[in-house]
């Protein structure tokens, strides 16, 4: 009797374990169970990483981004209040990563800094460009800020005889810039 009970109890234990795993696995992909989030402070450009388990923050850190380091280095005013906007979010099991609009703005800020580096822009030119970008980041929505970054990148590239975007996008950006519009261009 004892020899037959051991394999049966092992099979029962394995079945219960498998059942729990199959039941719990989909739950692990829910944002309220586990979420890794990255936020951008639109006043400074700093980045905050946080991990939440059952909606409770279990880990978090704030770090300077390349943008915020450059803004501070150039002495551009930063409001004391932080305003966090979601940039990226991912979950444990589903492997899904949600790229929020401010994630695109973060990438655009890196591209803007890249073109400033590539053209060896002076600190004064950098300050003027980044003051415009930061004003847009603080005062406008993410879509407008993204277009502002593209306009600034194109303006710098054109000034130095570079081509960063496709000819179609360059024409649209220059049209918007020449018309002096402050709105996001239409489709």
Q: Quote the tokens at residue 25.
A: 């696995």
Work out the average pLDDT over 144-172. 93
Domain ranges of the chain: 1-28, 31-179
SS3 60: strand
* pTM score, whole prediction: 0.77
CB 39 within 8 A of CB 57: no
Helices 123-139 and 101-118: crossing angle in degrees, nearest 10, is: 170
Q: Rounded to an integer, what distance in angstroms lies between the CA atom of residue 124 and that of residue 75?
A: 11
Q: What is the pLDDT of residue 126?
A: 97
Q: How confident is the model at residue 137 (pLDDT cuts 50, 70, 90)?
A: very high
């Amino acid at each position: 009797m004892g020899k037959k009970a051991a394999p049966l109890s092992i099979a029962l234990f394995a079945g219960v374990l498998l059942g729990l795993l199959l039941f719990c696995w989909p739950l692990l992909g829910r944002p309220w169970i586990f979420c890794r989030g990255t936020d951008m402070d639109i006043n400074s450009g700093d980045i905050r990483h946080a991990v939440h388990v059952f909606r409770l923050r279990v880990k978090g850190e704030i770090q300077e981004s390349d943008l915020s380091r450059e803004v501070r280095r150039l002495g551009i005013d930063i409001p004391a209040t932080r305003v966090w906007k979601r940039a990226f979010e991912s979950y444990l099991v589903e492997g899904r990563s949600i790229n929020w609009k401010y994630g695109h703005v973060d990438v655009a800020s890196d591209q803007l800094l890249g073109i400033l580096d590539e053209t060896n822009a002076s600190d004064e030119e950098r300050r003027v460009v980044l003051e415009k970008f930061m004003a847009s980041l603080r005062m406008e929505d993410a879509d407008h800020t993204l277009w502002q970054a593209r306009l600034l990148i194109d303006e710098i590239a054109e000034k130095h005889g570079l081509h960063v975007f496709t000819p179609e996008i360059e024409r649209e950006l220059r049209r918007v810039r020449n018309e002096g519009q402050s709105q996001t261009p239409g489709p």
